[in-house]
Amino acid sequence: MTSPFFGTSIRRDPSQPARLAARIDAEVRDRIEEAVDFVCLDVMVQARRGRGVPAPAADSAADRAEFEADVTAFLERLERDLTAAVAIERRVALTAAGRAASEPRACAFAVQVALAKELPDYWPRFDETRERHAAERLAGAVSSGGERRGLLGRLFGL
């Protein structure tokens, strides 16, 4: 029997899920969201630096749209790369985890949480996908921006 006076822990925010499994899933999701945001923002900043373009601005709608598109692309690639390591019968559970979410972004993160719980080597695989994603995006940024000019070339318009 639980006492109504001690319904929540002092260390836990009352808005957090009460069940331990739900709290763990929420923490894993937060870590994955932070990692994905970091990967995409880092690639965006490096690509702009390579093209000699200013860094993204927090209040720019165009920068926000570019960031959101890269997050979506990275999540799709991450799901594609990581589900390849899961047995076919377990993939059904992953798609069910994704279908439980209401929007596409939440669906993608729900699948990532399920993958993180399924794969013991989730984070090393995440890093491998991150490295490939960054290499491709940065190679595309340099090639689309032309040859990167040196300091004198930028100063004198060469």
* 50 Cβ neighbours under 8 A, 6+ residues apart: 138, 141, 142, 145, 148
Contact 44, 124 (CB under 8 A): no
* 143 Cβ neighbours under 8 A, 6+ residues apart: none
Q: How far apart are CA 86 and CA 146, in angstroms?
A: 40
Extract the tokens encoding 4: 């109504």
pLDDT 10s per residue in the chain (158 long)?
454 444 555 565 666 666 888 888 899 999 999 999 999 999 999 999 988 889 999 899 999 999 999 999 999 999 999 998 888 888 887 877 777 777 889 899 999 999 999 899 999 999 999 999 999 999 866 554 444 555 555 556 55
